[in-house]
């Protein structure tokens, strides 16, 4: 179903949309605008999903196990030592 709507474009937007139609990439100005709105809808949904994913990750981290500074330093030192051994680098 299509709904007719009146919109305003800048001269630059109108010229760009018309150039896409004239180049044969779209059949009409409506097609150009529909595609643009579809891309904006997809981006908005992807951004919302990403934001929600980040919120969930942050919440899990806040509620998860905490490591002391000393414990983190020990883990880092262990990781460095494993890398040195794997690369056969002397300390």
pLDDT at residue 54, rounded to an integer:
97
Torsion 57-62-67-70 (CA) sign: positive
φ, ψ of residue 66 to 5 degrees: the values are: -100, 145
Determine the pLDDT at residue 89.
Answer: 84
* Model pTM score: 0.64
Q: What is the pLDDT of residue 1?
A: 80
Q: Cα separation of 82 and 39, whole Å?
A: 46
pLDDT tens digits for 51-76? 999 999 999 989 988 889 999 999 99
Structure tokens at 86: 């794997």
């Amino acid at each position: 179903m299509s709904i007719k709507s009146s919109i305003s474009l800048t001269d630059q937007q109108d010229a760009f949309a018309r150039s896409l139609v004239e180049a044969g990439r779209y059949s009409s100005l409506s097609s150009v605008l529909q595609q643009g709105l579809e891309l904006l809808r997809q981006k908005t949904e992807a951004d919302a999903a990403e934001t929600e994913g980040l919120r969930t990750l942050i919440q899990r981290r806040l509620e998860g196990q905490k490591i002391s500074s000393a414990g983190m330093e020990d883990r880092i030192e262990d990781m460095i030592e494993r890398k040195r051994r794997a690369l056969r680098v002397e300390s």
